Structure 1
């Protein structure tokens, strides 16, 4: 479903998507109110949503669109270009991804290819059909049973989180369920442009009592703190001569092409924290984190992969599971309880 108040924009987007056999545009509407009404008649896998529209704006409509459709929402807005707070807010409310809307006359070329690829990835590359006259199909509320094959035997000294597309909502759920008694520093690599990071850190600070900081080179890791990769460099950790664990930012290209990348963060933590590290891989495209997770497990640490049914995109967590590296496969709230239990059991 395309939701944008500009008929010209909707027509251009529909023309771009028509070139893919994996995509069918089932609805094109000029407002959020029209979109909500339309969902009574059609089933959609992906909603492309503008933020600024007459009447109900995209931010206000987003939670209800997700609740009513179960669809994955791609925010396509000019507000995304500069890393504005509206885009970060949308991601925190459950939007799967964001993409900057180009100016009119700039929709061809690279944008069209990226846009279509994002839609295919979010839809899983399959087209659903619902027979005419059938009730709107509801997405399953089935939750897969937690799978746990290994629990840490030592108090966690560092918690590491890698996340990408669809991961911010999962991250919020994880943090809200994490006990205050879990004081180990948290290192977070979220695939976001550098311009988004200040707003992202502010949003995280609003949902946790931990002190949230954009990581800077040389920072000493402290209990009760959450450090966010800055967007222009990898967040890694080293043991300095004074025995302190410190942040070391790195711009050495990662083999997977991501910057920031989860792999260098995991790899460095495996070296510094060994069996006292717990790594968590949340929703995201690709396989960032798989190489580093292998090192975490080799040093005795634990690796949690987000469960497939709770993911927007199971690429990153799926690569952990498929490589046999997962200590546990859990939804975000259960992942929090896994960490809570590790801290409680080790403290007794």
Structure 2
């Protein structure tokens, strides 16, 4: 089960941003608001696609834990399946959340299915033509100057050229805004800048049209926020449990399962700090702690750097880990 979680949970987008994006109702239509709305819907779509796959794999492990069974049940809420069905009617099957700027831009602009809106299709066509013009211009420059030119995109810079260079090689004067690193020069030309500006304008038009089409759908999504909040809480809890399990499995120091009593005392045998243990320059000295009605305080003395504060933090962290359901370094 741990291996399944380690493989599947990183595939989920930032769920906090998804919730914030759904909850946010913009006061006016802006490019930023459009980008947030589209990114939010793509993140929600990816989340709803991953949920049944994860739930199915977890059920295949014959879960005995009531907590894990509850988490799986939350992930299989029927409202979530209905929501995913509506999203699939609107978005293309390949639409998903991306982490790279150029991939995210492409996903946002082409998220809605072709034929859904005529004006959107025309705006997309203009955008694709502008991008094609940039690549054609780069190919022409490459042939004219016998250079290996690659077209790149960055959110802050737009489309630009990357040219590998050797030593103190100097590029022709037409290549402007040059930024050199060890192996290449990123630059542009007046023509590429003009085409990049055209791409930016076309992109903004596509985003605004897409944003307008998504508004009614986002209103429907907000009506099912209870199911979304519940499943995100479930994923967060699952992520925490996975982290605690991974900690125990991968740490070199010994961990044990804590035992609870209703009235104490607090007994820690050979306790160790869960973090300092790995970074101490000298061998970490385990510490026994006994706190109860018959011994309700202890005096800790020692010179600066001896570990007095570390011991206090160690006891607190062990108690917190135990109360959170984790094993403890002891």
TM bin (shorter chain)? under 0.3
- TM-score, normalised via structure 1 length: 0.22
Structure richer in helix, relative to its length: 2
Structure richer in strand, relative to its length: 1
Structure of larger gyration radius: 2
- TM-score, normalised via structure 2 length: 0.23
